């Protein structure tokens, strides 16, 4: 599974308590751009995490949703509808799905083309999302500085992933075209996640896969100090509004 999958497994509980809320809002926004009729569709939630993108498709009437992710602890709780798997080697037959949904999963790849090729093999359409390259929020650096004072060092897998992550809309569209998709569209949309308070912002940052395992390993009293210090430094920061790249593509 590798270090990334292990980190997400270890972060599962904290993720559900923090980042999941943000990603659920972004999944709803992404779902609005699905390039095919979702009603009764067979949907693959690719790199599903806790399954918020699949949930968004169910609310739009999807006939079935299957979730796949490297981290088993992150997957939705219905095992019959989820499986552990690698997006570059999916355990599904050709054309098994009408739509593949890749919410913030393709940005984990240095080259998104190989997973896109595999998604095109199993699904006739794709809707995907990633952070816009220029997007940032001040809570990121502020909370990282608090963590560093308590001994946190950024995991190597995260540093490597961030170096190549978040292609712009044109770059992501180009990857889809190289993967063989024909009708391709991409743009940037702003998503208000509804997370505004210091408690919200800190839960977001401390629940991420690169930080949550470190926080969980701290002694309880130090963990409380980290949270209190982080909430103090982010107090008064702007609400969490994310600039999100949305890609749609048809085979």
Q: Domain for residue 88, yes or no?
A: yes
State the pLDDT at residue 81. 87
Q: Domain for residue 31, yes or no?
A: yes
State the pLDDT at residue 98. 98
Q: Domain for residue 68, yes or no?
A: yes
Q: List the domain range (segments joined by +) for residue 24.
A: 2-136+164-195+240-250
State the pLDDT at residue 208. 96
| Per-residue pLDDT tens over the stretch 37-93 | 999 999 999 999 999 999 999 999 999 999 999 999 999 766 558 999 999 999 999
DSSP letters for the chain: -HHHHHHHHHHHHHHHHTHHHHHHHHHHHHHTT-SS--TT-EEEEET-TTSHHHHHHHHTT-SEEEEEES-GGGS-S-GGGEEE-BTTB-SS-TT-BSEEEEES-GGGSSSSHHHHHHHHHHBSEEEEEEE-TT---HHHHHHHHHHHHTT----HHHHHHHHH----HHHHHHHHHHTT-SEEEEEEEEEE-S--SHHHHHHHHHTSTTTHHHHHHS-HHHHHHHHHHHHHHHTTPPP-EEEEEEEEEE-
Q: Domain for residue 180, yes or no?
A: yes
Average pLDDT, the chain: 94
Q: Percent of the chain having pLDDT more than 70?
A: 96
Indicate the range of 26-30, 155-159, 194-198, 210-214 predicted with least confidence: 155-159
> How many domains is the chain partitioned into structurally?
1
Q: Domain for residue 93, yes or no?
A: yes
Q: Domain for residue 169, yes or no?
A: yes
State the pLDDT at residue 54. 96
Q: Domain for residue 146, yes or no?
A: no
Q: Domain for residue 227, yes or no?
A: no
State the pLDDT at residue 173. 96
Here the CATH number for the domain that contains residue 37 is: 3.40.50.150
| Per-residue pLDDT tens over the stretch 124-168 | 999 999 999 989 999 999 999 999 999 999 998 887 666 456 788
Please give the model's pTM, rounded to 2 decimal places.
Answer: 0.93
Q: Span 223-248, mean pLDDT?
A: 98
Q: Span 187-196, mean pLDDT?
A: 97
């Amino acid at each position: 599974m590798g270090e990334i999958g292990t980190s997400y497994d270890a972060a599962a509980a904290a993720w559900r308590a923090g980042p999941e809320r943000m990603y659920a809002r972004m999944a709803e926004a992404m779902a609005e751009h699905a390039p095919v009729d979702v009603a009764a569709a067979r949907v693959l939630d690719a790199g599903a995490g806790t399954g918020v993108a699949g949930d968004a498709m169910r609310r739009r009437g999807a006939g079935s949703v299957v979730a796949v992710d490297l981290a088993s602890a992150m997957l939705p709780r219905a095992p019959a509808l989820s499986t552990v798997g690698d997006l570059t080697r999916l355990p599904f037959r050709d054309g098994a799905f009408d739509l593949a949904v890749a919410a913030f999963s393709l940005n984990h790849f240095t080259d998104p083309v190989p997973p896109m090729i595999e998604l095109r093999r199993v699904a006739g359409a794709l809707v995907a999302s990633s952070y816009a390259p220029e997007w940032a929020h001040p809570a990121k650096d502020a909370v990282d500085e608090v963590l560093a004072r308590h001994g946190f060092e950024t995991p190597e897998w995260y540093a490597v992933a961030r170096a190549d992550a978040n292609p712009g809309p044109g770059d992501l569209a180009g990857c889809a075209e190289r993967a063989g998709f024909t009708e391709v569209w991409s743009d940037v949309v702003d998503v208000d996640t509804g997370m505004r308070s210091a408690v919200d912002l800190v839960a977001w940052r401390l629940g991420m896969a690169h930080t949550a395992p470190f926080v969980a390993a701290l002694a309880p009293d130090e963990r409380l100090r980290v949270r209190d210090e982080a909430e103090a430094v982010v107090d008064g920061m702007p609400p969490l509004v994310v600039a999100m790249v949305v890609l749609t593509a048809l085979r």
